[in-house]
Amino acid sequence: MSEIRLDRFISERTEYTRSQIKILASKGKITVNGIISRKSDFKINPETDCINVLGNEIKAGRFRYILMNKPSGYICSTEENDGISVMNLIPSEMRTKNMFPAGRLDKDSLGALLITDDGRLAHRILSPEKHIPKIYIVKLARPFQSKYVNLFDGGIILSDGTHCLPARVKCAENNDNLAFIQLNEGKYHQVKRMFAAVGNHVEKLMRVSVGGLILPEKLGFGKCMELLHKDVENLFSPLDFDTFCNDFFGIFSAFLINK
């Protein structure tokens, strides 16, 4: 990668404007390889130089990928017309100017949410042709019924006549009111509407995986972590549903019960 100006490098990877970067540099708040740089037009090599702003390292990658464990009460939007945006939960050192949620969860829903400034990746994830599977765990108002397995596998028809793609469901072994569901699409309030169509009601919903990216057990509600490129590639490596349920049901069911 060729050399570029320091202010351009920082502005492309943070929320700082070039004028703000100039001020930070003049105050000695920016270092290049551990040495204070008071000139924001200084040329740097993004591949070899270590850049810090206010003590935070600015990584060379052009795009950033954040995995959030979304808490209830926040909306998946960059605007705040209908509530408080999840963007407020992202630490300042992780933010860039053009970040947005790549996908949605309802305001009262929990779990895995990808936030990025990579529009091309977001398009790949959200494109209907890709059918990236997502796994949710739900707490039901009434006990899970074995007939749900075939009904969901055959494609649920919602109350308004909308046809859903085949989906997989599995009940918890020791709790008839908890179940996993795997979807290959993302219609409006789809999980809740699917269970309503079979005569049940979703009390709580938590997304626990997107593609092959699994929500880490130790990532608390409202917390974020930056993803590496190898983690991002896991989005396109689907999980085996049965294996996932067997391995992770205890972890995520506890998450949902205790919430």
Query: Residue 96: its pLDDT value, please?
Result: 87
**pLDDT value at residue 228:** 83
Give DSSP secondary structure letters for 180-234. EEEESS--TTHHHHHHHHTT--EEEEEEEEETTEEPPTT--TT-EEEPPHHHHHG
What is the per-residue pLDDT for 255?
Answer: 63
Q: What spatial distance separates the first Cα and last Cα of the chain, rounded to whole Å?
A: 47
Average pLDDT, consecutive stretches of 10 residues, N- to C-terminus, the chain (259 residues): 86 88 93 92 89 88 90 90 90 87 92 93 79 92 97 95 95 90 92 97 95 92 90 87 85 64
Residue 104 confidence (pLDDT): 87
Q: What is the pLDDT of residue 193?
A: 97
152-157 contacts: CB < 8 A, separation 24 or more? 152/181, 152/194, 152/198, 156/194, 156/197, 156/198, 157/197
Residues annotated as catalytic (active site), given as ranges: 106
Categorise residue 117: left if φ over 0, alpha if ψ from -120 to 50, beta otherwise: alpha
